[in-house]
Structure 1
Amino acid sequence: MIIPMEVNGAKLSFILDSGVNKPLLFSLSDQDSIQLNNVSEITIKGLGEGEPLKALRSRGNVFELKNIRNFNQQLYVVLDKSMNFSPTLGIPIHGIIGYDLFRDFVVDINYNTKVIKFYDPQYYKPKPSKKSQTLPISIVKNKSYLQGKVALNGKKDIPVKLLVDTGSSDAVWLFKDSIRGIGIPEKYYDDFLGKGLNGDIFGKRTKLNNITIGDFVLNDAKAAFPNMASFSAVKDLGDRNGSVGGEVLKRFNIVFNYPKNEITLRKNGGFNKPFHYNMSGIELQHNGLRYIAERIADSRGVVKNDEEAFGNVQILLENRTRLSLVPEIVVSGIRAGSPAAEAGLKEGDVVLAVNGKRIHEYKLQEIMKMINEREGKKIRLLIERYNKDLLFSFVLKEVFK
């Protein structure tokens, strides 16, 4: 979930992340102009196996989201340029914001319509519905936790306390706990799970028989067991057993009501959709811009500049050739033993087309869906390697067979 936010008059884009405390700014470029107030240098720690990061703490900043204003907002600015989610998500991201919005408002998230509404808690009146369920949440150190149950390894209804993490694109993370019976199933594969504040997070990807939240049951739910070295900066996990992220949460329309310590869930049209797995074994990301040349039917000057994308500038030349500045999509990671690895693809390969479709016409998430659509589908990737175009083919395989 990406929301527009003005910080001291500068227009920026933030991930709405219920798993973060104070707002974070990062990956600011030379083109981003923002004035910060009352600045001091600090060191911050987060998830990941890297070293703590140097950052700036700034107080007294003005945050604006439409008609919502905070004239005394504290924030942190990460100075490490490697902290950058924009290439992975495919759109410019400048920061993360979480608790301060959830604390002050009732937050209504409709994943179907992609609309977020913020209500003043004093005047919020919930709409009664037989299809929705309101559950208690606990707020601990400015983060929300939800009780649920999981079934795995032949054991049913294992109670779990999960961090509600709207900033995670994953489904369920679990921590091994032999006393509770939370163990890694026999069928799993090692995988890259995501980026944390202090580096990449790896773990074992698997699936659950089901996860139950309130009266809602999701079968064959995607899950992962992260390497606990990534949590070294977390001094005390308490009785937390893991987290629940976007791939589960997006199956509901959700109302977060922190002032009343409750959350309301109503399943939407995506509730019964199968969970997405990376069957190809490829991770993709943006890697700047590149020019492409295309023949066209007629020629008429300069066409457009789409400010919402990375580039997409088009110029028409007199010889009926169109030069377009488009995002460059590269292979950023390959899982060992995957179909892509066996076909010979390598990190750094520039992806030009998928099954004959030129990928510069698609968003990054759409391209990932194209190369992981269904088991048994044949994928043909046209890539550029050392200025040569090469064609690779492989067949998508069910990851747990």
Structure 2
Amino acid sequence: MLVFFLVGVSINVQAQDGFVMHGKRSKKIHFKLSNNLIVVPVEVNGVELSFLLDTGVNKSIIFNFLNLKDSLQIKESEKIFLRGLGEGVQVEALRSQGNVVRIGETVNLNQELFIVYDTNLSFAPRLGVPVHGIIGYDFFKNFIVEINYSRSFLRVYNPNLFSPKICRTCKVLDLTFYKNKPYLKAQVTISGKKIPVNLLIDSGGSDALWLFKEDRLGIVPSNIFFEDFLGYGLNGSVYGKRSKVDAFTIAGFQFKNTNVSFPDSLSISNARQYKNRNGSLAGNILKRFNMFVDYSNGKLILKKNKYFNEEFRYNRAGLELEQNGVMLVVEEQLNLRSGQLIKFGNQNIATNPEYEIGLKPAFEVVELRKGSPAERAGVILGDVILEINGKSAGELSLQRIVKQFYGKSGKQIKLLIDRAGKQHEILFKLESMFD
């Protein structure tokens, strides 16, 4: 999928003591990798939740709080306003202290949380998996954290007991910090020109690379680009240009023909407050490495993994979906025990069929790229996908459906959609903007 979580919240408050892990050298924590994003199990005041692990945020946030209010027993405190990515207004939140948060066998007995009440602000529908909040700096600051993207686990090390292994194929980078967010130096090649860049490490974005347009530096889209939806942030949708750079280089590792997005200036006004920042390095590149993140010493260790040589692709259909509730599905069941079957050619037809009624997830079209294959074929916003290429959408995950939109050019997509209670069949072929 595209970038789905783009908060980039900045709030200057005094740091808490943070997470601890008593008497252990290290401990493993399994996570789900969803659309290049890390979703970890988190326990808040005894309630089991799921959070996005995002190096791009410096404070911990809970979303859609009204549905969790009774069980979480949050201590309410002062009202504040959060500003992140997107073109909307600031989001009202409450700052709460004294919360007990556990991630694996690490615990913070006095965790500060920022509580967002707006029920419309939920990122789970865009990801297709439960996500109740986001955590970043608060978790990373007291540990050395190994992120193994290829096997979907974290290993948290006590820095006082950590002894690194010799790794001849690893590369070590220096990190710098601005408002408790990590930055690294890299290089992009645009129209043959090599340009040094300073990038936020943003594990909460599922794109590959974001760059902020800067004409004087030559950081501009190539002649081949298209306007698109880039993602959904704390303050609304983010739009911009999608293109390619000739190459992206980090610590000697090079990726050619790399995906890049240039977000509209209005969407990133908050991010541009740090004048030395040129963009973000996000999940579609980060996942190509297994890494050690060491905030206390300002180091990042990279080792390429099985994803390293994956092709960079865009959504070639031009539509974005979200899981918007459920729909009632009535399915005919063949009653083989009744004996009431007749033969018609090679098929058995039930004379007294039974019906099973169930609830299936409803996947709704929420973004549609102008001029895309899906739009030209007749898809409109609000359409609900019932089937894709003959398979019931209700039997598939959101990730499995959207993955088909990233297939090879020329691949045919056959959709059965529901529009205002009527079914329509839509056919189109995937198209690349760069082939």
TM score, norm. by length of structure 1: 0.92
Paired position in structure 1 for 2:380: 346
Identity across the alignment (%)? 42
Aligned positions of 1:282-361 closer than 5 A: 282-296=319-333, 320-361=354-395
Return the offset for 1:371: 2.7
How many Å apart are 1:35 and its aligned residue? 1.0
Tell me if the contact between 1:38 and 1:60 (Cα under 8 Å) persists in the aligned partners.
no
Structure-to-structure mapping, 1:2-401, within 5 angstroms:
2-30=39-67, 33-155=71-193, 157-234=194-271, 236-296=273-333, 320-400=354-434
Deviations for 1:94-143, whole angstroms, at most 9, x for unmatched residues?
Answer: 11100011101111111111111111111112222222111111122100
Kindly state the Cα deviation for residue 298 of structure 1 after the two structures are TM-superposed. 6.3
SS in structure 2 at match of 1:274: coil
The CA deviation at 1:29 is 4.6
| Rounded Cα–Cα distance in structure 1 between residues aligned with 2:288 and 2:173 | 16
Looking at structure 1, the residues matched to 154 and 381 of structure 2 have their Cα atoms a distance apart, in angstroms, of 37
Give the C-alpha shift of residue 370 in structure 1: 1.5
One-letter amino acid matched to 2:418: E
Distance in 1 (CA, whole Å) between partners of 2:281 and 2:150 is 19
Q: Which moved more, 1:275-284 or 1:357-366?
A: 357-366
Amino acid at match of 2:381: E
**Could you give the per-residue CA deviations for residues 2-22 of structure 1, whole angstroms, max 9, x where no partner exists?**
111111112111000000011
Q: Is the 8 A contact 1:162 1:243 kept in 2?
A: yes
Measured in 2, the distance between the counterparts of 1:224 and 1:3 equals: 27
Structure 1 unaligned blocks of 5 or more: 301-317
Letter in 1 for 2:376: E
Tell whether the 8 Å contact from 2:333 to 2:353 is kept in structure 1 after alignment. no
Looking at structure 1, the residues matched to 320 and 413 of structure 2 have their Cα atoms a distance apart, in angstroms, of 15
Query: After TM superposition, which residue ranges in structure 1, 4 or more long, deviate above 4 angstroms?
Result: 297-300
Task: Return the offset for 1:293.
Answer: 2.2
Aligned-partner Cα distance in 2 for 1:352–1:152: 42
- C-alpha separation between the residues in 2 aligned to 1:393 and 1:278? 16
How far did 1:388 drift? 1.6
Contact map agreement 1:376 1:396 (CA 8 A) in 2: yes
Give, in whole Å, the separation in 1 of the partners of 2:275 and 2:217.
14
Residues 65 and 115 in structure 2, CA contact (< 8 A), matched pair in contact too: no
Q: How far did residue 297 of structure 1 move?
A: 5.2
Deviations 1:74-105 (A, max 9, x none): 11011222211011000121111000111011
Code of the residue aligned with 1:129 in structure 2: it is: C
Say if 1:56 and 1:76, in contact at 8 Å, map to a contact too: yes
Matched positions, count = 383
Structure with larger Rg: 2
- Assess if the C-alpha contact under 8 Å between 2:66 and 2:117 holds in 1: no
Q: CA RMSD in A?
A: 1.7
> Helix, strand or coil: the match of 1:208?
strand
Check 1:235–1:221 CA distance in 2 against 1; reply closer, same or farther (3 A cut): closer
Q: Secondary structure at the match of 1:371?
A: helix
State the Cα distance separating 1:321 from its structure 2 match.
2.8
